[in-house]
Amino acid sequence: MKLSTLTRTAIVTAVTATMLAACGQGSTTDTPDAGADDTPSADDAPADGDDPSAGPGEAPAAAGGDTLTLWLAGETDTPVELEEWLVTAFEEETGATLEVQRIPWGELLQRANQALPDPDNTPDVIEMGNTQVPTYTSVGAFEDLTGLLEELGDIGPEGFIEAGTYEDTVYAVPYYWGSRYIFFDKAAFEENDLAVPTTLAELSEAALALRGASGDGYSGIWLPGQDWRNGISWIFAHGGDIAVQEDGQWVGKLSSAESVAGLTQWQELYEGATTAPQDGRDAEPWVPFNNGEAAMFMAPSWARWSVEEAKAEDLGAFALPGVDGGVAPVFAGGSNIAISAQSQHKELAADLLRLIFSDEYQTMLAENGLGPADSEFTSLMGDDEFAEAAIAAASSAKLTPASPEWAAVETATVMEEAFGRIAGGEDVATVAKETDAQLADLLNG
């Protein structure tokens, strides 16, 4: 397998250096590294029940007393009942034990860097954010899943598959998607004689009116200053972008006329409609809503279940509207899932993926408001306004630039700092131009 050039950031350096030293990735479709010696030695003897010649697309051997480790990202993102079902079904199916570890998002990259290259400590299966995956696929951290794809069904969204693909080989598949949309307090809208916005300008007008009617301590919309994951939707809505490839090089596009227009509208909304802190990010936006401190917030579909029962009675939802109506493109939240290249239980790991893509599990994802990777089950998300908003938002959702170096951008908090500066009142065009230079520097490695 051809490995990408090492980036200058620790997120890739830690993984890449070890992978280059111990690239023993066992693919079922080709030989990842023609120079690697794959002949097993006595020290490489498999654990009981493992067949070193079996890859993730082949039938499992008897598991015996093996334990498979699954890392789930976030402490509450995957509902507990889904985890419990996986643990029980996995033991019934394989006779092995599934150990689930929930890794906080803020710790995921650092812990993955330390664990993935180490066969003794790597998670066998790992969930990662769709923006984080490209860095790891490009350095040989994950197992080739090509031989398993046909068994997993009609999987998507396509952007998630692209995020998990490197040099035409799929190393990470979609786990779930969560379209971002607007949650709102119907009672607050009714009290102020406001209709559901149909354009971005109407959204701003409603948010400004709601804050003005309720005092300085109240947000018409909860809009933290460094919340770029929601903020980039204003860029997309105006036809702008973060960065694109031109002649084989990544070029920042935040300073384009379209992006600046979106950022300017976002800045005006921040300055007039929210009490959210300038250094705030996108964590738990439902908390101020639950506390009666905000009339609207933007979040992925699963945030619905974090709204308290008393507030849920008046909870409504709508897709972020576009500049001229319709639905604005939003950032597609969600995760991919992969098998570690250093896993010593790859056939059991493949069994776990088969369970995750089973009808039962895909149904549970959909019924819990998590976009199922198998599109056959999307309709099970329901037909209420929440499901309609999620599906509408997903129809035009976008991802961050599909560069293996994107994780370096996140590690350096480039987008957080840019949005924080704009929220602080700095000139949008100046911030955008300076940030474009940072993006080009990092994305081109």
- Yes or no: say if 260 and 157 are a contact pair by the CB < 8 Å rule: no
- Yes or no: say if 300 and 334 are a contact pair by the CB < 8 Å rule: yes
What are the DSSP E strand ranges found in 155-236? 165-166, 169-170, 172-178, 180-185
Euclidean distance between CA atoms 397 and 265, whole angstroms: 20
Mean pLDDT calculated for residue range 144-157: 92
Domains of the chain as residue ranges with CATH: 10-178+333-394 (3.40.190.10), 180-331+412-443 (3.40.190.10)
Give whole-number Cα distances, 90 to 31, 161, 368, in Å.
Answer: 29, 25, 21
Q: What is the pLDDT of residues 194-239, one digit of tens each?
A: 999 999 999 999 999 999 998 778 999 999 999 999 999 999 999 9
Q: What is the pLDDT of residues 48-85, one digit of tens each?
A: 334 433 445 444 444 457 999 999 999 888 999 999 99
Q: Is a pLDDT exceeding 60 seen at residue 413?
A: yes
Across the chain, what does the average pLDDT equal? Answer: 86
State the pLDDT at residue 158: 84
Instruction: Report the DSSP beta bridge partners of residue 140.
Output: none
Which residues are within 8 A (CB) of 65 and not within 5 positions of it... i.e. 6 or more apart? 48, 49, 96, 97
Run of H or E including 337: strand 333-339
Whose structure tokens read 């009339």? Answer: 295
Above pLDDT 90, what percent of the chain? 68
With both helix axes pointing from N to C terminus, report the angle between 228-237 and 257-273 in degrees, rounded to the nearest 10: 130
Mean pLDDT calculated for residue range 29-50: 34
Mean pLDDT calculated for residue range 298-316: 92
Mean pLDDT calculated for residue range 409-414: 92
Sign of CA dihedral 300, 301, 302, 307: positive
The better pLDDT of the pair 365, 397 is held by 365
Q: How confident is the model at residue 402 (pLDDT cuts 50, 70, 90)?
A: confident
- Yes or no: say if 334 and 178 are a contact pair by the CB < 8 Å rule: yes
Q: Is a pLDDT exceeding 60 seen at residue 288?
A: yes
Mean pLDDT calculated for residue range 385-391: 90
State the pLDDT at residue 226: 97
Run of H or E including 112: helix 105-115
Q: Which of 195, 180, 160, 177 is nearest to 236 (CA)?
A: 180
Say what the pTM is.
0.76
User: Which two tokens mark 152?
Assistant: 């997993």
413 φ/ψ sector (left φ>0, alpha ψ -120 to 50, else beta): left
Mean pLDDT calculated for residue range 275-293: 94
- 3-class DSSP state of 250: strand
Q: Is a pLDDT exceeding 70 seen at residue 32?
A: no
Which residues are within 8 A (CB) of 295 and not within 5 positions of it... i.e. 6 or more apart? 184, 185, 188, 189, 207, 210, 214, 218, 219, 220, 221, 289
State the pLDDT at residue 375: 87
